Amino acid sequence: MAQRQIEYVPVKMFHPDIREAPLFTLPEGFYSRTYRPGDKSEWARVESSAGEFGSEEEARSHFEAEFGGRDEELHKRCVFIGHGDRAIGDRTIGTAMGWYGDWDGSKVIGRIHWVGIHPEFQGRGLGRPLVSFAVECLKRFHNTAYLLTQTTSFRGVRVYLDFGFRPVVEDEESKKGWRILAEILKQPALEKYL
């Protein structure tokens, strides 16, 4: 896609039955694993490199504030993908969570949360498998799920559409966001927003 400035507009997506989401596998040379105690720094390194935070320190502080003391839950719900030989050392290059959140003020449902891939490894077919691992975590606890994203993450939105997540339009701002995404992505699921 030609370089153009894309307006940042937050959007929300919903999946009515996450158990029906497809499964994607990692390409050769990559592996997945769940969270281990001490992985806060790995998470911070990946998320800050992906542009979610200004620095690893800022990312670690956010992680501690949101997830501190929740290692058992993180082990069940936070996944990493790595590249390299585990025997001689590897490199964590992606992370995602099959977390949970307040959907509408009345119930807690599954949530795809904090999906990030190191820029050096983006565009290598890792996004769908990474989200797939987070979805597999969700399937153990939830039937429905949502996620929050933005127009500037249009590549991720394409991935989420492939999993069966659909747009949620709550107001004029979100309608504007889906119109922007429909123009960029040219996906059948978004045609009605054009």
The pLDDT score that the predictor gives to residue 24 is 96
Q: According to the model, what pLDDT value does residue 91 have?
A: 87
All CATH 3.40.630.30 domain ranges in the chain, comma separated: 23-97+114-141
Q: How far apart are CA 112 and CA 135, in angstroms?
A: 7
Query: How far is it between the farthest Cα atoms of the chain?
Result: 52
pTM of the model: 0.91
> In this predicted structure, what is the pLDDT of residue 76?
97
CA angle 173, 178, 180 (to 5 degrees): 95
Measure the CA angle with vertex 147, ends 188 and 151; round to 5°: 55
136 has which bridge partners?
none
Helix, strand, or coil here: 15? Answer: strand
d(CA 173, CA 64): 31
7 touches 180 (CB < 8 A): yes
pLDDT at position 84, please? 79
pLDDT reported for residue 106: 83
Fold of 23-97+114-141: Aminopeptidase (3.40.630)
Predicted confidence pLDDT, tens digits, the chain (194 residues): 444 699 999 999 999 999 999 999 999 989 999 999 989 999 999 999 999 999 999 999 999 999 999 999 999 999 999 987 655 557 899 999 999 999 888 899 999 999 999 999 999 999 999 999 999 999 999 999 999 999 999 999 999 999 999 999 999 999 999 999 999 999 999 999 87
